[in-house]
Chains A and B, each alone.
Chain A
Amino acid sequence: MADVVPYGRVTQKPSPVPDIHVLWMTSGLSCDGDSVSITAAMQPSIEDVVMGAIPGLPKVHVHNPVISFEVGDDFIKYWYLAWEGKLDPFVLVVEGSIPNEKIKKEGYWAAFGTDPKTGQPITTNEWIDRLAPKALAIVGAGTCATYGGIHGMQGNPTGAMGLADYLGWDWRSKAGLPIVNVPGCPVQPDNFMETLLYLLYQVAGLAPMIPLDDQLRPAWLFRNTVHEGCDRAGYYEQGDFAEQYGSPKCIVKLGCWGPVVNCNVPKRGWMAGIGGCPNVGGICIGCTMPGFPDKFMPFMDAPPGSHISAGTVGVYGRAVTALRGITNRTVNKEPKWRHPRAELTTGYQPRSY
């Protein structure tokens, strides 16, 4: 009977890859906010993925320090197995900025576990070096891991950067996948879980290569701007702008960068369609962007050009779109001090290392 596949069973064939491990490191320069975020996801939820509630996927073993039953060696053994090539396939998820460990004589900025030989902490960067060649894919969770984020701010002492700055923007996994960046500070819960789900479909042979844009973001999530998905855009169209926080009108004059920021949060909401940013009165500070935070600060000042576009609102069209295109390209670039070279160029002048 096994060869008879009844109608409707097409996605219920066992995955050609029976098991897959997700090794999730929160030990970049992070706040663990992206791990906390995924516990909020419902589309799909973490338990949907782990318990096999979605048909056609391999059995998923998630190793994340925030929720793991195991402690200590029982937990970190999967990292050693992966390093030794005994855990295949696996997806490496990195959370937190990648510090520059080369700018100082000794010590560490970020570490995960202890080297049994030296008794010293093993740096997060060393783990990335060990695991990157063996991973099926590497996913950056949140803006710190993807582009450097808040800890890569001007004047930072650690030389923090994003995964692609560290590994190279043209890095490819052994399976031919580029780094997959899911930015957001923190990452929008469903955006991350949906990206993971897509990759699992891809592993199971149920989806083609994940479509990414030139910032390595899932294209379907980050194609549009905040403004394009904002339910206050009607006020913008009418030239009706809020003069103070708490108004239901368009808040672009109060510091909202929505017109030039790639993000779906106003459209999707934060959880279950609830919350968000400008749609609920919070200025968009560009937290999904490579240029975050520096290119958006001071956050509460009106973005340059917002008055121009606000003034030309009546003559819609190519002019406004072109202006926004220029700004969009600028904020889609990281500041120049985020790099893996053995020098600190953030502006901080260390006296002590």
Chain B
Amino acid sequence: MSTITAPTTGTPSKPRNLVEMNWDPITRIVGSLGIFTKIDFENRQVAECYSTSSIFRGYSIFMKGKDPRDAHFITSRICGICGDNHATCATYAQNMAFGIRPPSIAEWIVNLGEAAEYMFDHNIFQDNLVGVDFCEQMIKETNPGVWDKAQRTPANGAKLHGFKTISEIMTALNPFTGSFYRETLQMSRMTREMFCLMEGRHVHPSTLYPGGVGTVPTVQLFTDYMVRLMKYVEFMKKVVPLHDDLFDFFYEALPGYEKVGQRRILLGCWGSFQNPDVCDYTYKNMAEWGDAMYVTPGVVVDGELVTHNLVDINLNIRILLGSSYYDDWEKGETFVKKDPLGNPVDQRHPWNQTTVPRPQKRDFKGNYTWVMSPRWFDKRTGDHLALDTGGGPIARFWATALAGIVDIGYVKATGKSVKIYLPKTAMLPETEFEWKIPKWSNTIERNRARTYFQAYAAACALHFMEKAMKDLHAGRTKTWTDFKVPDEAIGCGFHEAVRGVLSHHVVIRDGKIANYHPYPPTPWNANPRDSYGTPGPYEDAVQNTPIFEENGPDKFKGIDIMRTVRSFDPCLPCGVHMYLGEGKTLKTVHSPMFGNQ
């Protein structure tokens, strides 16, 4: 429930009755987030939204002067649900800086661990956290009319997932008592066991190192992983149709629901799963080995793939201020003037960032955030684009589909879709799913892509298993390449954290860390207005959100806003505040469901 404060009068041009409604904290996400809104109940619109989160830890500060080999152990602790993505990304940056290439079986082991992370994390987030927004208890409290319809609507995939109607799916999603909720919670444990087989411990791995892994490749290791993987593959054959049924129902039951959380198609993906046959971790070959990744990196603007070149992606990252509690570094030290290919590196690039915190009172008209505004510079237009990750999967699929490169038997990018092949399992026949590029970048499609990506990760894992066992059977079981830490070096790592783009940039001097800046997905998604006045992605998404909830101000849950925020899979430990400009007039959307309410 929200806090209701006094109604205020809105924009000068057209008086509106706005009611302030606040939710602090937002739950069922990772980290601390508060949402402050002004709602126009007469026109069923969100008029304004401020979003805040409340911690600062200072990784970039306390990592200075430390041994560069420690970077992956330290940065794992940034995030408690995808810490291993940070550790992995840090080892990628270390490998580049130290000039090492791990043995191939080490890369397959890391890929298998990271695939298990996607399988686990999307699974628990989708059905134990997001799923609650679609469960019986929630639907009854927010949209009794939708609950009535759900009871009358048969589920198309009933034969596969076993739920006859949409309402049965919703009941199964009830927290703790719902059968599907309990099944996914248990599945999230089995997938974490798979993770622990490859990376030692969840969520901060013990067996990752620059140069490879400490995991001992044995027949037993892969057997233990494989039997669990195939159980998950069978589970996916039920889960994908279950979510298609649920999400399709929302478009049908609430005409206009595609507008919820919709924003311009501005998606970033930094690529995932290295191919050890191609990846040598040198900067000069980065475009080539970036293209060889099993999730293709790319920037998608208005449905067009602007680039899939990792060098291009790297050089055009900009970190802007505007509303954050930091001093600027425009006149600070320039650590990296040119990249190893001779291209100039901007002062606002993470390699050159200097973090100087200045704690102060929160002021929504001034500075109100610990997070900066990452942008991607589009040299075609000169725009600093506020890319989002859509919570990860939608951007990964969109970039991979358009690039049309990935083709490994289990998954194939077609140019307009991504096909996923799952082999026969104990109880179900072989199955093919196809994720097709959707019409919108919105709340429902972000969620739908998440489910399909769970299947994609499982399919990729089948490929990695084959490759790893080939190495094992051939006796190629060395998992680590020795190295020396250079006195002076730079490195960068690109990866996909579960919820989207992840980069690590390191500068080494005198054998110590001179500068280190990780950029996880949530700063990209949940940032405030930047110095150019460009709002962050949540801002667009929430601004465009019409209200379909049946409750008035007295019992308002803000469910459509909650679904939108959660569709980005927020992970706030990086500390995020967000602000939406005042008095934006939003397009009015009337739902036929609600009549005169």
The answer to whether B503 has its CB under 8 Å from any CB of chain A is no
The answer to whether B212 has its CB under 8 Å from any CB of chain A is yes
In the complex, what residues of B have CB within 8 A of residue A348's CB? 61-62
Rounded to whole Å, the gap between the CB of B53 and the closest CB of chain A is: 9
The answer to whether B534 has its CB under 8 Å from any CB of chain A is no
Known: A158-B56, A274-B197, A281-B207. A244 touches B482 (CB 8 A): yes
The answer to whether B357 has its CB under 8 Å from any CB of chain A is yes
Question: Which residues of A, 274-304, contact B by the 8 Å Cβ criterion?
Answer: 274-277, 280-283, 285, 287, 293, 297-300
Judging by beta carbons under 8 Å apart, are A40 and B202 in contact?
Answer: yes
In the complex, what residues of B have CB within 8 A of residue A157's CB? 56, 58, 61-62, 357
A149 closest partner in B (C-beta): B77
Rounded to whole Å, the gap between the CB of A342 and the closest CB of chain B is: 14
Rounded to whole Å, the gap between the CB of A318 and the closest CB of chain B is: 31
B358 closest partner in A (C-beta): A352
Among the listed stretches A103-111, A162-170, A199-207, A321-329, which one makes contact with chain B, having 4 or more residues with CB under 8 Å of it? A103-111
Docked CA distance A269–B55 (Å) = 32
In the complex, what residues of A have CB within 8 A of residue B56's CB? 29, 109-110, 157-158
In the complex, what residues of B have CB within 8 A of residue A40's CB? 188-189, 192, 202
The answer to whether B421 has its CB under 8 Å from any CB of chain A is no
Judging by beta carbons under 8 Å apart, are A156 and B196 in contact?
Answer: no
Per-residue CB proximity of A28-53 to B under 8 Å, as 1/0?
01111111110110100101001100
In the complex, what residues of A have CB within 8 A of residue B207's CB? 245, 280-282
Per-residue CB proximity of A152-179 to B under 8 Å, as 1/0?
0111111010000000000000000000
B210 closest partner in A (C-beta): A300
Rounded to whole Å, the gap between the CB of B220 and the closest CB of chain A is: 11
Residue of B24, B70, B204 touching A114 (CB-CB under 8 A): B24
Known: A72-B23, A352-B358. A271 touches B189 (CB 8 A): yes
Known: A67-B128, A72-B26. A281 touches B200 (CB 8 A): yes
Docked CA distance A67–B361 (Å) = 30
Judging by beta carbons under 8 Å apart, are A75 and B27 in contact?
Answer: yes
Judging by beta carbons under 8 Å apart, are B80 and A68 in contact?
Answer: no
Among the listed stretches B30-38, B386-394, B448-456, B489-497, which one makes contact with chain A, having 4 or more residues with CB under 8 Å of it? B30-38
In the complex, what residues of B have CB within 8 A of residue A29's CB? 55-57
Docked CA distance A155–B54 (Å) = 21
Residue of A96, A104, A274, A281 touching B359 (CB-CB under 8 A): A104
The answer to whether A89 has its CB under 8 Å from any CB of chain B is no
Known: A75-B27, A246-B479. A155 touches B64 (CB 8 A): yes
Chain A interface residues (CB < 8 Å from chain B): 26-27, 29-37, 39-40, 42, 45, 47, 50-51, 65-76, 96-97, 104-114, 116, 119-121, 149-151, 153-158, 160, 185-186, 244-248, 251, 265, 269-272, 274-277, 280-283, 285, 287, 293, 297-300, 346, 348, 350-353
What size tier do the contact residues of chain B reach?
A: 35 or more
Judging by beta carbons under 8 Å apart, are B359 and A106 in contact?
Answer: yes
Residue of A50, A69, A111, A275 touching B197 (CB-CB under 8 A): A275
The answer to whether B201 has its CB under 8 Å from any CB of chain A is yes
Known contacts A111-B54, A151-B62, A155-B61; can you find 14 more A-B pairs with CB under 8 A? A36-B81, A42-B189, A45-B185, A75-B25, A112-B32, A121-B54, A151-B77, A185-B77, A245-B211, A246-B477, A271-B196, A275-B193, A282-B205, A298-B66
Question: Which residues of B, 203-228, contact A by the 8 Å Cβ criterion?
Answer: 203-207, 209, 211-217, 224
In the complex, what residues of A have CB within 8 A of residue B180's CB? none
Judging by beta carbons under 8 Å apart, are A282 and B30 in contact?
Answer: no
Please list the 7 inter-chain residue pairs (A to B) with the smallest Cβ-Cβ separation, ordered nearest first: A282-B206, A33-B80, A275-B196, A107-B359, A281-B214, A72-B23, A246-B479
Offer 12 A-B interface pairs, CB within 8 angstroms, sorted by A. Answer: A27-B25, A31-B573, A32-B81, A66-B28, A67-B128, A69-B137, A71-B562, A107-B360, A245-B209, A245-B213, A275-B202, A282-B205
Rounded to whole Å, the gap between the CB of A51 and the closest CB of chain B is: 6
Rounded to whole Å, the gap between the CB of A42 and the closest CB of chain B is: 6
Judging by beta carbons under 8 Å apart, are A352 and B27 in contact?
Answer: no
Judging by beta carbons under 8 Å apart, are B70 and A297 in contact?
Answer: yes
In the complex, what residues of A have CB within 8 A of residue B55's CB? 27, 29-30, 96, 109-111
A119 closest partner in B (C-beta): B362
Known: A26-B32, A121-B52, A277-B206. A113 touches B25 (CB 8 A): yes
B562 closest partner in A (C-beta): A71
A77 closest partner in B (C-beta): B1
Residue of B67, B175, B205 touching A298 (CB-CB under 8 A): B67
Residue of A30, A114, A156, A272 touching B80 (CB-CB under 8 A): A30
Judging by beta carbons under 8 Å apart, are A72 and B2 in contact?
Answer: yes
Judging by beta carbons under 8 Å apart, are A297 and B27 in contact?
Answer: no
Judging by beta carbons under 8 Å apart, are A65 and B25 in contact?
Answer: yes
The answer to whether B268 has its CB under 8 Å from any CB of chain A is no
In the complex, what residues of B have CB within 8 A of residue A353's CB? 357-359
B103 closest partner in A (C-beta): A246
Judging by beta carbons under 8 Å apart, are A276 and B206 in contact?
Answer: yes
In the complex, what residues of B have CB within 8 A of residue A350's CB? 357
Judging by beta carbons under 8 Å apart, are B25 and A76 in contact?
Answer: yes
Judging by beta carbons under 8 Å apart, are B175 and A69 in contact?
Answer: yes
Docked CA distance A71–B325 (Å) = 27
Judging by beta carbons under 8 Å apart, are A47 and B359 in contact?
Answer: no
The answer to whether B132 has its CB under 8 Å from any CB of chain A is yes
In the complex, what residues of A have CB within 8 A of residue B320's CB? none
In the complex, what residues of B have CB within 8 A of residue A120's CB? 361-362
In the complex, what residues of B have CB within 8 A of residue A70's CB? 1, 27
The answer to whether B182 has its CB under 8 Å from any CB of chain A is yes
In the complex, what residues of B have CB within 8 A of residue A31's CB? 77-80, 83, 573
Give the one of A107, A246, A298 with max B CB within 10 A.
Answer: A246
Docked CA distance A283–B128 (Å) = 33
In the complex, what residues of A have CB within 8 A of residue B138's CB? 69
In the complex, what residues of B have CB within 8 A of residue A69's CB? 27-28, 132, 137-138, 175
Judging by beta carbons under 8 Å apart, are B80 and A47 in contact?
Answer: no
Docked CA distance A69–B181 (Å) = 13
Judging by beta carbons under 8 Å apart, are B77 and A150 in contact?
Answer: yes
The answer to whether B422 has its CB under 8 Å from any CB of chain A is no
Rounded to whole Å, the gap between the CB of B207 and the closest CB of chain A is: 4
A27 closest partner in B (C-beta): B32
Docked CA distance A300–B358 (Å) = 34
Rounded to whole Å, the gap between the CB of B324 and the closest CB of chain A is: 12
Judging by beta carbons under 8 Å apart, are B479 and A73 in contact?
Answer: no
The answer to whether B466 has its CB under 8 Å from any CB of chain A is no
Judging by beta carbons under 8 Å apart, are A65 and B80 in contact?
Answer: no
The answer to whether B400 has its CB under 8 Å from any CB of chain A is no
Docked CA distance A281–B482 (Å) = 16
Residue of B79, B224, B360 touching A106 (CB-CB under 8 A): B360
A158 closest partner in B (C-beta): B58
Rounded to whole Å, the gap between the CB of A35 and the closest CB of chain B is: 7
Residue of B69, B196, B361 touching A107 (CB-CB under 8 A): B361
In the complex, what residues of A have CB within 8 A of residue B62's CB? 151, 153-157, 346, 348
Judging by beta carbons under 8 Å apart, are A34 and B24 in contact?
Answer: no
